[in-house]
Structure 1
Amino acid sequence: MTTSVLLLAAIGAPLALLLACMVPGLRKRMPLLLALAPIPALVAALLADDTPVVLGNAQFALSFAMDEPGAMLLLVAAILWIAAGAYAATGLRGTVNAGSFVVCWLMTLTGCVGVFLAADLVGFYFLLAVLSVGASGLVLQGGTAEALRASAVYLGLALIAEAFLLAGLVMLAMATPDGSLLIRDAAAAIPASPWRDLTLMLLVVGLGMKAGLVPLHFWMPLAYGAAPIPAAAVMSGAVVKASALALIRFLPFDIALPDFGLPLTTIGLFGAFYGVVIGIMQSQPKIVLAYSSVSQMGFLVAVIGMGLANGDASATQAASFYAAHHLLAKGALFLAVGVIATTGRRRLWLMLLPAAILALAIGGLPLTGGALAKLAVKPVLGEGLVELLATLSAIGTTLLMLHFLHRLAASAAPDPSASAPWGIALPWLLMFVAALVVPWTLYLVTGIGTWADVLQPAILWAALWPILIGAGLALGLWRWGRYLPRVPEGDIVVVGQPAMRVIVQWGDALEQMEGVLRQWPVAGLSLLTLILILGGVMFNGH
């Protein structure tokens, strides 16, 4: 199969299913196909080369291509979308609003795959907007007042972020020679741009908001907590990584820019610790995981910042690998929340043990993908203060994840003999295996490291002792944690509620939007518009 066929199938499969939702008979069967929609993206990640694909004509064209960061993240994202799609299909059986969930799911999937493959500024921005609208719709599917507010905040912040991002993309286009709109050309032109500083600031602010950087992180606990479990899994795993991938692609790592890199590292590390501190004050497993995502995305941005500060091109591969492991592990742990909630205490350990391995892997448990990820980013972080803070972050992450496991065990089903339905247990176990095996495969195949690197006693001990200290702190938390203050989910947005009224006012509009989307003739028209926009350039492709 040629690269053009693979890339078109990756984006076209979920897009075609969106169109199929307009047919009532097909719409009823659509939940069964959710797990199949990402398979072309998985195949493309494995087989496509870096040959660009251009669709459209001289007046309007979209470019798609597969680079190493995109292939790595598309591969693991497709695995998560497959597993979460199978999980969602089980939960949608017999539900009234399955159709609206499917629409939002497929729209989010289309945007997610498209962003991973977009090679030009216009296509990237358009597909990112599709992703944002679809994801806000997924949050709405929680069906509660909290879900309405969370969706309003998510969409409001997304619009603000995209305004900053659009301005940055315009500055990029203005500075790119020969009028090229390709992302690689735009990134290469940044160092010589007369608007370099302004362009970088706009890009970092816009993408940082979408990545959940503190202090504009509060949408994460609100959205992940309110969304249905499979939606929270793909949002925390795949959707948020689109912003990280954009930072990797847009920022110029071939020149040292400490004036931007070091502040970005500082903000990222602050977020890494902030997420831990607020996370241990939470009691709901999904909210704890959300603050873990705040922490981990902060750490990932710190890695990107150090690469930018030092002009280290290897940071792109290291950051992509770190993001890939987090995508798998965090997506799997969100699915585990639903599995444990339907599992009684007699069978609890069967599901809790895999969750414990993945939770500690995020902290860097030796021989897991988390240990490989931390080993991969170590050269980028360098030695000195940043290295010390990274180690302290690993201790904090372990503490937070053990707190999550404690709260997860407490959420087990009240019936001691209850067992999770196979329709959700099997996807969860698939993700557990993938989170263990895929990072090792990527680590060795991409040349990031070797077996010998990982199995050195000094390396193993360096990964183990922060886990042990974090476990000791967790024992103290379990004993005296009741004395900690309880911070509401969303922390800053709750404390600063008056300042957020403008954003939350989106709730009324979203409530009306939800009602409209439930009316299938109008929803079908919206989908048809989306199909015509993308399909038109496909038919005119060259």
Structure 2
Amino acid sequence: MNALLLAATPLAPLLLLAALVVPALRGRALALLWLAPLPGLACAAFGTGEPFMVYARVRLTLALDQPSAMLLGGAALLWCAASVYVRAYIEREAHWRFAAWWLPTMAGSLGVFVAGDLVSFYFVFALASLPAWGLVIHDRTQRAWAAGATYILMTVAGEAALLAGFALLAAFTPDGSLAIADVLSAAAEAPLRDLAIAFVVIGFGLKAGLVPLHVWLPLAHPAAPMPASAVLSGAIIKAGVIGLIRFLPLDVTPAAWGEVLAVIGFVTAFWGVLAGITQQNPKTVLAYSSVSQMGVVAAAIGMGLAAGIGTTPQSAAFYALHHVLAKGALFLAVGVAAATGGRVRWLVIAPAVLLALGFGGLPPAGGWLAKEAVKAELGNGLAATLSALSAAGSTLLMLHFTRRLAAGLAADATARPPPGMLLPWLALAAASVLVPWALFAPAAGGDWASVLTLDALAKAVTPVLAGALAVLALARWEHRLPPVPEGDIIHLARRLLRVASPLGNALARGEALLRRWPVAGLAMLVLTAALGFVMMGR
């Protein structure tokens, strides 16, 4: 049963994708999009830690540990809710084209949590990344094409870095095994270990949106349709998080790398807030919030590595689980708000405010428990101070989002959202609170006795109050803030490339080439297949 659930997690979306080829089945397949993530949800709930070996010669395996199970369950819930949302949001004539990109992206996004070896992990990681280009450019506007070009350029760069890191890791495995556990065990004494770690951090850091590799998020998320933005921010960037958790284990990664990751994480956390509060588009604000929150996750992982905390993978995964559900829900809320007016506005605004304050750590929202889960990593010394400031910044940024969300409500007092949009939003909003409460003790090792004390609750509320007061200042002075364009530093990079005209022209030609999906996508998939064949022949 465990083997069936593991295999069905990435295969179910691919089988439904195959059904789209048959015109007679196409209509039914589109109506069943929401069923494709259910095997992944069942795997997260009922799967065991026993690995399933697909190909014994090089130990190609599927496996599930506790951090992966948490993230898989959250991602599957988000994909399910967003798939229901798709039918009401996407125009009927565009359903088939959208589903053709949606399903392979889903397969890769869920598959990264069960891949147990280098080849299968790299393949599903590429599958989670490359087809998402079709989701970004779905609207075919100039903005969407430009965002898609940046997305595919950076995705290919990240895939190349990851391929180099995996090749170095595999090169020092003595028995030819490609199982992640075997590769990492051998890497502990490998002479090029630090170079391999650098490539891995670049590849996964780009996917997770760590500064300065974050620029694709605030470009791609606002350009994509609402359900695509939800899964891009909620689920797909968690491929980077699970990569950092899996490929930077405590017994392999030097403490110095943990310190580096912690610094990058905190810089990312604060940069996301500073850039986000200058934005007016609610989707762009959410994108920068995702940058900030992934910075906190990276900082927690880094501090855990630096301090030698063995429970960090579970804590970081729990924090990221909350982000999957809450951020995915808030992206869906933007679409619901645009179709909602009159007295039913509270169905959008009230839950959105609760989820927004949760990112700052306000009880009883799920974000409060998420922050409590990483207290061992971020609750002492300088890290505690930076974490509290980050929580206040998150509160400021997310309340700024709720103001922009309210401004986007329908002007027509009689406007009502279709049930296919309203119900997934409310269900996912509820899950973002209930799931962390249900898993805090059994999965994250949380201690209810310690977090429910008056002192602990006061400490949790203090940054939220500070962020709420800062909103008042922002409302008065935001017109004086220097504008930060979506993508921030990428615009500076483009100006510098224009100055260095020979290099700039060469890179411009390369970017133009990479805008062509068949070239970029096929190249990376061919590299993936070639890597697999080479390693299988060892």
* Band of TM-score, shorter chain: over 0.9
State how far apart, in whole Å, the 2-side matches of 1:405 and 1:434 are.
20
Q: What are the superposed Cα offsets for residues 5-47 of structure 1, whole Å, 9 maximum, x if unpaired?
A: 1112222211101111111122233321111110111011111
Q: Which amino acid aligns with 1:476?
A: A
Alignment of 1:51-62 (within 5 A): 51-56=50-55, 58=57, 62=60
Alignment of 1:137-286 (within 5 A): 137-254=134-251, 257-286=254-283
State whether structure 2 residue 365 is matched by structure 1 residue 368.
yes
Alignment of 1:261-410 (within 5 A): 261-410=258-407
Compare 484-493 and 74-83 and name the one that shifted more. Answer: 484-493
Alignment of 1:122-141 (within 5 A): 122-141=119-138
| Residue among 69, 72, 77 paired with 2:70 | 72
Instruction: Provide the secondary structure at the position in 1 that maps to 2:61.
Output: strand
Instruction: Provide the secondary structure at the position in 2 that maps to 1:117.
Output: coil
State whether structure 2 residue 56 is matched by structure 1 residue 43.
no
Instruction: Provide the secondary structure at the position in 1 that maps to 2:175.
Output: helix
Q: What are the superposed Cα offsets for residues 86-132 of structure 1, whole Å, 9 maximum, x if unpaired?
A: 0011123423x322210110010111111111000011111111111
Alignment of 1:378-457 (within 5 A): 378-446=375-443, 448-457=445-454
Q: Structure 1 residues 252 and 349, CA, compared in 2 at 3 Å: closer, same or farther?
A: same
Q: Structure 1 residues 25 and 226, CA, compared in 2 at 3 Å: closer, same or farther?
A: same
State how far apart, in whole Å, the 2-side matches of 1:192 and 1:310 are.
21
State how far apart, in whole Å, the 2-side matches of 1:333 and 1:190 are.
40
Aligned counterpart, 2:502:
none
Q: Structure 1 residues 494 and 41, CA, compared in 2 at 3 Å: closer, same or farther?
A: same
- Structure 1 residue 381: Cα displacement: 2.4
Q: Structure 1 residues 256 and 150, CA, compared in 2 at 3 Å: closer, same or farther?
A: closer
Q: What are the superposed Cα offsets for residues 266-287 of structure 1, whole Å, 9 maximum, x if unpaired?
A: 1110110011001000000000
Higher relative contact order (CA 8 A, sep 6+): 1
State how far apart, in whole Å, the 1-side matches of 2:161 and 2:490 are.
20
State how far apart, in whole Å, the 2-side matches of 1:409 and 1:71 are.
35
- Structure 1 residue 232: Cα displacement: 0.5
Q: What are the superposed Cα offsets for residues 37-64 of structure 1, whole Å, 9 maximum, x if unpaired?
A: 1011101111110111122463x76310
Aligned counterpart, 1:3:
2
Q: What are the superposed Cα offsets for residues 438-480 of structure 1, whole Å, 9 maximum, x if unpaired?
A: 0111112225113322211111101001101100000111122
Contact 1:34 1:86 in 2 (8 A): yes
Q: What are the superposed Cα offsets for residues 107-160 of structure 1, whole Å, 9 maximum, x if unpaired?
A: 101111111110000111111111111111111113211111111111111111
Contact 2:276 2:284 in 1 (8 A): yes
Q: Which amino acid aligns with 1:268?
A: G
State whether structure 2 residue 11 is matched by structure 1 residue 19.
no
Contact 2:316 2:374 in 1 (8 A): yes
- Structure 1 residue 171: Cα displacement: 1.1
- Structure 1 residue 188: Cα displacement: 2.6
- Structure 1 residue 348: Cα displacement: 1.4
State how far apart, in whole Å, the 2-side matches of 1:281 and 1:190 are.
44
State how far apart, in whole Å, the 1-side matches of 2:508 and 2:355 are.
35
Q: What are the superposed Cα offsets for residues 150-176 of structure 1, whole Å, 9 maximum, x if unpaired?
A: 111111111111111111111111222
Q: Structure 1 residues 49 and 225, CA, compared in 2 at 3 Å: closer, same or farther?
A: same
Instruction: Provide the secondary structure at the position in 1 that maps to 2:54.
Output: strand
Contact 2:258 2:305 in 1 (8 A): yes
Q: What are the superposed Cα offsets for residues 187-213 of structure 1, whole Å, 9 maximum, x if unpaired?
A: 233321111211111111121111111
| Residue among 87, 104, 109 paired with 1:89 | 87
Identical-residue share of aligned pairs (%): 48
Contact 1:157 1:503 in 2 (8 A): no
Q: Structure 1 residues 200 and 374, CA, compared in 2 at 3 Å: closer, same or farther?
A: same
Aligned counterpart, 2:484:
487
Q: Which amino acid aligns with 1:17?
A: L
Instruction: Provide the secondary structure at the position in 2 that maps to 1:193.
Output: coil
Task: Please tell me the root mean square deviation across aligned C-alpha atoms, in Å.
Answer: 2.3
Q: Structure 1 residues 506 and 231, CA, compared in 2 at 3 Å: closer, same or farther?
A: farther
Instruction: Provide the secondary structure at the position in 2 that maps to 1:496.
Output: helix
- Structure 1 residue 351: Cα displacement: 1.4
Compare 7-16 and 100-109 and name the one that shifted more. Answer: 7-16
Contact 1:255 1:310 in 2 (8 A): no
Aligned counterpart, 2:501:
none
Contact 1:148 1:507 in 2 (8 A): no
Q: Which amino acid aligns with 2:273?
A: V
Q: Which amino acid aligns with 2:92?
A: G
Contact 1:278 1:291 in 2 (8 A): yes
State how far apart, in whole Å, the 1-side matches of 2:509 and 2:101 are.
21
Structure 2 unaligned spans of 5+: 498-504, 534-538
Contact 2:3 2:52 in 1 (8 A): yes
Structure 1 unaligned spans of 5+: 518-525, 538-542
Contact 1:152 1:504 in 2 (8 A): no
Instruction: Provide the secondary structure at the position in 1 that maps to 2:60.
Output: strand
Q: Structure 1 residues 495 and 158, CA, compared in 2 at 3 Å: closer, same or farther?
A: same
Compare 459-468 and 207-216 and name the one that shifted more. Answer: 207-216
Aligned counterpart, 1:522:
none
* TM-score, normalised with respect to structure 1: 0.91
Contact 2:332 2:425 in 1 (8 A): yes
Q: Structure 1 residues 45 and 256, CA, compared in 2 at 3 Å: closer, same or farther?
A: closer
Instruction: Provide the secondary structure at the position in 1 that maps to 2:441.
Output: helix
State how far apart, in whole Å, the 1-side matches of 2:253 and 2:55 are.
37
Q: Structure 1 residues 131 and 250, CA, compared in 2 at 3 Å: closer, same or farther?
A: same
Aligned counterpart, 1:63:
61
Q: Structure 1 residues 507 and 83, CA, compared in 2 at 3 Å: closer, same or farther?
A: farther
State how far apart, in whole Å, the 1-side matches of 2:199 and 2:444 are.
34
| Residue among 98, 104, 107 paired with 2:101 | 104
* TM-score, normalised with respect to structure 2: 0.92
State how far apart, in whole Å, the 2-side matches of 1:61 and 1:17 are.
28
Instruction: Provide the secondary structure at the position in 2 that maps to 1:363.
Output: coil
Q: Which amino acid aligns with 1:89?
A: R
Q: Which amino acid aligns with 1:236?
A: S
- Structure 1 residue 258: Cα displacement: 2.6
